Structures are given as C-alpha cells and as structure tokens.
Structure 1
C-alpha cells in the first residue's frame, strides 16, 4: 500500500517537470531510484540519467506522507516508524 502511494507520488512529481524527451525509464530498486531519459536534441548524449533537486543521479527509495527521496532520507533518524522503503 505505502509502496504504491510512494510510486504514484514520485511519478506525479516527474510528470510535473517539463521535458523535451521522447522516452523516460524508471529503475526502482530496493534502495535507490534512477530515471533515464532519451534526448531528442541533436548534439546531446542520446541517453542520460536525470538528476534530482539535490543534483544527484539517484534518489533513495524512501517515502513519507510529506516527502520523497532525499527529504525522506533526512527524516529517517527523527521518525523511523513513519519513513517507508521499497
């Protein structure tokens, strides 16, 4: 249940970011999430790993009701019973 809620929240967040890409792929592991993007613009690398708001190429596969990824990882120490991983 919590996994599906987190995945839906993450996908909605990605959908709100404007993109000029034809295809994106999400690698949802047990510890990390990565997003690959196929670029259509000439002169750019055809496939790249998207960066998150912390300028990292991977995000922790953690979710709370108020945060996703890096923000949720920062809340693990204070609220271990309210942060869920995949």
Structure 2
C-alpha cells in the first residue's frame, strides 16, 4: 500500500510540474513552404515602383523595344523615336 501511495505521489508531482520547465522549440518551417521569387511576376519579371509587374531587367535582358525608322533612335524609357 505504501508503494502505491508513493507512486501516486510521484506521478501527481510530475503532472503538477510547470510547463515552462521544458518548452517546445518552434518549428523552423513555421511559414508557408512556398517562396515567391521577384514578387511572383514570373521569369525575368520584377515589381515596379507601384507594385505592378514589369518584364525584363534581370538575367533575361530587357524586352523587345519598338523599332524606329532609319535616322531615329528610341528616346528615354523606350517610348518615342527621337531623331539622331
């Protein structure tokens, strides 16, 4: 009878121990397993100043610009043809 009482006392003491004595380590993969690269704009794309996707500018180079007639070249930002 004494051994049962002693065993019950040890078991009750073990259950009453504070939970902070051995905290569980946080999981290292707490976030989502998917990592978006370049903001989710796809290959050779990146985010512009207002959050929209823009193509080119990384390893793939810039997109194809508009061809200008002879004697002209693309001006700033590649939008207009300027005379040489």
Identify whether the pair has TM-score above 0.5, normalized to the shorter chain.
no
TM-score (norm 1): 0.24
Which of the pair is proportionally richer in helix? 2
Larger relative contact order (CA 8 Å, sep ≥ 6): 1
Whichever of the two has the greater Rg, that structure is 2
For normalisation by structure 2, the TM-score amounts to: 0.24
